[in-house]
A and B are shown apart, each in its own frame.
Chain A
Amino acid sequence: MTGPSRIAGGGEPLPFTFAGRRLIGQKGDSIASALLANGIVTVGRSFKYRRPRGILSAGEDEPNAIVDVVLNGVRVPNVRATTQGLEAGMAISPVLGRGAALLTQALSPFIASGFYYKTFLWPHWGLFEPAIRRMAGLGRVDPDSRMVAEPGGNLAADLCVVGGGRSGLLAATKAATSGQRVLLVEQRAELGGSSLWRDGGDSVDLVAAARDAGVTIWTGATAFGAYENGRLGIHRQGAGLADGGSLWAVQAGQVVLATGALERPLLFERNDLPGVMLADAALHYLRRRGVLCGARPVIATNNDSVYPVALVLAKAGAVVTLVDSRAASERSADAAAKGIRVLTGARVARALGRGRVSGVMLTDGTGIDADLLAVSGGWTPTLHLYCQAGGKAVWDDERAILVPAFPVPGISLAGRAAGNWFAPDALPWVWSAAPEIPVAGKSRKTWIDLQNDVTLGDVQLAAQENFTSVEHLKRYTTLGMATDQGKTANLLGAAAMAQATGRSATDLGLTTYRPPYTPVPMAALQGLSRGPLQSPLRRLAAEPAHREMGAALWDYGGLLRPAFYGKDEASIATECLAARQGAVVFDASSLGKVAVMGPKARELLDFLFTGRMSTLQPGRIRYGLTLNEAGVVTDDGVVLCLGPDHFLVSCSSSHVGGFVASAEEWRQTRFGRDGVFIHDRTAHWATMSLSGPKSKPLLAGLGIVETLDDAAFPHMSFVMGRFMGGEARVSRVSFTGERGYEISVPAGLAIPLWQALIGAGAKPCGIEALGVLRAEKGFIYVGQDTDGETMPQDLGFDAPRLKRREGFVGDRALQLPVAGDADRKQLVGLARADGGVIPAGAHLIEGAPRRSIGFVTSSHHSPTLRRGIALALVEGGRARIGQEVTWFDLGQTGRATVTAACAYDPEGSRLNV
């Protein structure tokens, strides 16, 4: 028999399918070992040329064995077969080579580096891109498939050891014994690292010692990134395929990288043929999974690390031929003495076979029959995290490995990552060697990056076209850009470029190492931040009462608020008319209530608002704008003077956080922490806004305040009262233009207050009606009716600029030349002759070629005026009042007359009706 087969097993059988075939694996298998155990050599087709590909490795470096897996209705794309554990019932399909095989092997000579850029240039790349994208790409995403995730978090430790092999276990145990808090993370499910399949020291006792010493051990956990301040990003695998696991940020005082080393392949013609495998992987599959990957293996090498592999494979019954490019040595003689056929000074020229390895051709023309070609081109210490943390890996000519160029504080290396691989016996032990770049043979059939189908010929072409730095090489050929991030390819690519340009690998360097080391599932990155937890809704205290009245509750900037009351949007007009004719109540609890107090409160408020707040007397209220230092309006609101040193800022619902942050910044960095204090009380108080010509008698009936006499209690003032034994504050303000009272009570009394007002005859009013009522009055929503250039004078507030008062945020910006431009966009109203509604967002256009002179910021049908009303920001808008303009929206155009922003009761007489 030929090819891989299971020679030792007995584990619990696990049924699965591969490309529709029913197969049986066993408990403990990876997907890759289960496929090999079933004699499957070809696991997919390559990305670009659709060439058959087999399993190369047994770990995270795997370029070929990438599969889509469906289990229990969940589809997970791009699963690495070598690291994913097999589960019963998995339906596995190859992803590489999906789609139309347009770019066949026959075409391959034409698909060289930069092929797409060179070929699909005319008339435009965008014309070809969709078809190419459909053909390219890896696994298929099922939008209905959802992986779950688990909560992650932050963790602090004195020491974090990355890698649970022998060196990692020793380092962790030593530190824990001396009293440090130690976290050890191991990406595989089991501790022990390569000692699980390579001779040279057991790890069972080391694992026990680490546990006894109190080391916190995470298996199935990958430290995928090193970030600022010594932080590590760690992904813990979930319980099964469909569990994306959890994401952790680990802050460790010290990090030990015991990350081992990865084996490099050899370069020769057709080295991508299924049946070509890393020698260490062949040993792994035999020792760990009982799978002998070939009965007649050829093991090709340039170093000593394969000799133990050859002996183990031979002992398992394989007929081994070892091809060593070096001269005969003590070690080769030792192997020969133990019955291994060793050919020294020999190199593989070409892998033979149709679709899979059936033999090997050496450079001297010798042919060898084989069903497995196990290769080792030396080893590369895994320095990714050291490099991500600011280190630089350089080539050490003497040992033929990568080494750190300089120490990075807080990071040390151990074991094979540090270049230490102690000899397994008394013989000389040379475990790595410099890559050899073949000069004979077909370079276009010699693969460097298997996942992205980059050949030695591509690298040579890039060199010829002067893309000679490793970073250019990567971008021009896509070498190292696949999901394996070139773990088996990058160093060979650099060596090939060095050779092609007559430089040394040392001079050339390597591309930048970036996180993540291995792909992290999007589900883990998202964590629990999905659905209602992604942006938890804030809710009103009186929400149950609103629901009881049939409110349509909509999300307004993360706050769930009543849009209108009733079954559909027809209620909005009814609510508008009720506000103009009777009395309505609106839940305004989310309006800001930010206390500013202390002897320096007046000074701070004068600085924060365009208007002077320091002259405000207790019991009075004043409207004001806040700006940023560029003079742009950031919010509007009212300030209540509660006492000589005590003010309450009522800012917009959506700007509370921004106002508090800005106020704190100025307080702490300009005024000092003493003398003024800011406290956000927004959530402590519920506020119901009563509005309409009948609001006064309605409120009088509730007895909350002693008198509502307009002389004693005029517009823009407030009085204190009592409601159900609690304190109540009643303010005369209006956002509708009608007589208005805002009643604030402790949040716990929100529902009783709402019910009392409804019981007294007030009609409920939602946000949508309020939006119409305030637009009729020309009252703005900052952020909707303003943009990132709007200054106070653009809204009709000329005083801040003209009065030249100094000492408020943005003061000097209002004196810049730009602030006085005649064609600044100014807030105006618009009216259509036919009374229709202009689409919100429509542009106002003029000239030929036509250009935008502004845009519609708010637009509604006004039930009161029985016509469309709109607010717009228009260049030199106020000078255009009375003129006609053209609006444009999605190809539609029409005419409208520019009016003042206020369309209803411009005299303000309704406030006192």
Chain B
Amino acid sequence: MTRDQTGPGPMTCPFCGPRDASEFRYGGDPSVARPGPGCSDADWAAYLYLRDSPRGPAREYRVHAQGCGQWLVAERDTVTHLVGTITEATP
């Protein structure tokens, strides 16, 4: 049983460079799409309240709240907490 991945380290903001992880606020799941106006009540309720809780690799919004204030998308392993690539969030 080994868990050899890239070593841990600070989080790298695409705008500011490597910064302490505590500067980044969690911002939710970027894969959740806002349903269109004609959606069902159930669709809207799911959009509001239903979230996956993945074990292992995940993508998540991170806001560089104590830095540049930009919304970012980070790859993070929810088991090891290892953070992979961080990119700028786009619509």
B-binding residues in A (CB < 8 A) = 154, 156, 228-231, 249, 251, 253-254, 390, 405-410, 629-630, 661, 664-665, 668-672, 806-807, 811-813, 815-817
Contact = CB atoms under 8 A, between A and B. Distances in A.
Nearest to B49: A630
B48 to A, nearest CB: 6
Given A409-B8, A672-B91, A812-B39, 5 more contacts: A230-B9, A251-B9, A390-B79, A407-B4, A669-B61
A229 B10 contact: yes
8 contacts: A228-B21, A229-B21, A665-B71, A670-B91, A812-B37, A813-B44, A815-B41, A816-B44
Contact of A251 (B4, B20, B27): B20
A789 to B, nearest CB: 13
A254 B7 contact: yes
A406 B1 contact: yes
B10 A406 contact: no
Contacts, number: 85
B70 A409 contact: no
A251 B39 CA distance: 46
Contact of A672 (B9, B21, B44, B90): B90
Given A254-B7, A812-B37, A629 B81 contact: no
B23 to A, nearest CB: 10
B58 interface: no
A407 B2 contact: yes
Interface in B42-60: 44-45, 47-48
Nearest to B37: A806
A409 B7 contact: yes
A229 B48 CA distance: 30
A249 B8 contact: no
Given A251-B10, A410-B7, A816-B41, A668 B70 contact: yes
Nearest to A229: B21
Contacts of A816: 41, 44-45
A629 B7 contact: no
Nearest to B72: A668
A413 to B, nearest CB: 15
The 8 A-B pairs of least Cβ separation, nearest first, read A230-B8, A228-B81, A668-B71, A806-B37, A410-B8, A410-B7, A406-B1, A229-B21
A629 B9 contact: no
Contacts of B80: 390, 409
Nearest to B23: A154
A141 to B, nearest CB: 30
B85 to A, nearest CB: 15
B48 A230 contact: no
Interface string B19-38: 01110000100100011010
A253 B89 CA distance: 27
Nearest to A391: B3
Contacts of B71: 664-665, 668-669
A409 B5 contact: yes
B86 interface: no
B69 interface: yes
Contacts of B30: 669
B7 A229 contact: no
